Copies of this chain bind each other. A is one copy, B any other.
Amino acid sequence: MITASICTIGDEILIGQITDTNSSVIAGELGKSGIRVVEMVSVGDDGREIFRTAENLLAKSEIVILTGGLGPTKDDVTKGVIYELSGSTGYVDDPRQLEIIHGILASRGLDSLASNRRQASVPDRCDVIPNRLGTAPVMAVRFDEGRYGHKAVLYSLPGVPFEAAGAMPDVMSDIRKSFSLSEIHHKTIMTYGIAESALAERISSWEDSLPENFHLAYLPDPLKGVALRLSVYESASGVSPVFSRETDSLKKILGNVIYSEDGKTLQEVIGQILVEHGKTVSTAESCTGGKIASMLTSVAGSSGYYSGSVVSYSNSVKENVLGVPHDIISEYGAVSPECVAAMAEGVRRITGTDYAVATSGIAGPGGGSDGKPVGLVWVGIASRRRTETVKFNFHNDRIRNIERFAASALNALRLFILDDIND
Query: Taking beta carbons and an 8 Å cutoff, which residues of A are in contact with B?
Result: 11-21, 23-31, 36-45, 49, 53, 71-75, 104, 107-108, 110, 113, 115-116, 133, 135, 160, 162, 186, 188, 196-198, 200-201, 207, 215-222, 227, 229, 231, 282-283, 285, 289-294, 296-298, 300-303, 306-314, 316-317, 320-321, 350-352, 364-366, 393, 395-400, 402
Verify B113–A198 contact, CB threshold 8 A: yes
Residues of B contacting A115 in the complex (Cβ-Cβ under 8 angstroms):
197, 200-201
| Residues B303 and A307 in contact, CB atoms below 8 Å apart | no
Interface residue from B25, B292, B313 paired with A16 (Cβ < 8 Å): B25
In whole angstroms, what is the CA distance A7 to B309 when docked? 41
- Assess whether B218 is in contact with A75, with CB atoms less than 8 Å apart: yes
Q: Are B302 and A229 in contact (CB under 8 A)?
A: no
Q: How far is the CB of A229 from chain B (nearest CB, A)?
A: 6
Are A73 and B196 in contact (CB-based, < 8 A)?
Answer: yes
Determine the chain B residues whose CB is within 8 A of the CB of A200 once the complex forms: 72-74, 115
**Contacting pair A196 B402 (CB below 8 A):** no
CA distance A49 to B110 in the complex (A): 49
Number of copies of this kind of chain in the complex:
2
Question: What is the distance, in angstroms, from A405's C-beta to the closest C-beta of chain B?
Answer: 11
Residues from chain B with a CB closer than 8 A to the CB of A40 are 13-14, 20, 41-43
Instruction: Determine the residue in chain B with the shortest Cβ distance to A301.
Output: B366
Q: Which residues of B contact A303 (CB under 8 A)?
A: 313-314
Q: Give Cα A268–Cα B398 distance, bound, in whole angstroms.
A: 15
Flag if A21 contacts B23 (CB, 8 Å): no
Q: Given B17, B216, B301, which contacts A24 in the complex, CB threshold below 8 Å?
A: B17
Chain B residues whose C-beta falls within 8 Å of the C-beta of A20 in the assembled complex: 19-20, 23-24, 40
Can you give 24 contacting A-B residue pairs, CB < 8 Å? A12-B229, A13-B40, A14-B27, A15-B27, A16-B23, A16-B28, A17-B28, A17-B219, A18-B221, A40-B43, A115-B197, A135-B197, A160-B220, A162-B397, A289-B298, A289-B302, A290-B290, A290-B296, A291-B297, A300-B364, A303-B314, A306-B313, A306-B314, A321-B350
- Chain B's closest residue to A76 (CB) is B218
Q: Are A298 and B399 in contact (CB under 8 A)?
A: yes
The answer to whether A297 touches B310, judged by C-beta atoms less than 8 angstroms apart, is no
Sort A-B residue pairs by CB-CB distance and give the 8 closest, nearest first: A290-B293, A289-B297, A16-B28, A16-B27, A290-B290, A309-B311, A40-B42, A290-B294
Q: For A72, list chain B residues within 8 Å (CB).
A: 196-197, 200
Interface contact A37-B15, CB-CB below 8 Å: yes
How far in angstroms is the closest Cβ of chain B from A296? 7
Cβ-defined contact, A307 with B297, below 8 A: no
**Complex Cα gap A74–B297 (Å):** 36
When C-beta atoms are compared, the residue in chain B nearest to A166 turns out to be B397
B298 touches A311 (CB 8 A): no
A317-B351 CB under 8 A given contacts A197-B115, A200-B115: yes
A30 to B13, CA, bound (A): 13
Complex partner residue of A39 from B41, B285, B293, B317, CB under 8 angstroms: B41
- A114 CB → nearest B CB, Å: 8
* Given A20-B20, A302-B313, 7 further pairs, Cβ under 8 A: A13-B27, A15-B27, A16-B29, A41-B41, A289-B294, A298-B402, A300-B398
Question: Complex Cα distance A311/B292, Å?
Answer: 11
Report the Cα distance A162→B402, complex, angstroms: 13
- Contact call A313/B308, Cβ cutoff below 8 A: yes
- Contact residues in B for A74 (Cβ distance below 8 Å): 200, 207, 216
In contact, A290 and B311 (Cβ under 8 angstroms): yes
Chain B residues positioned under 8 Å from A282 (CB to CB): 317
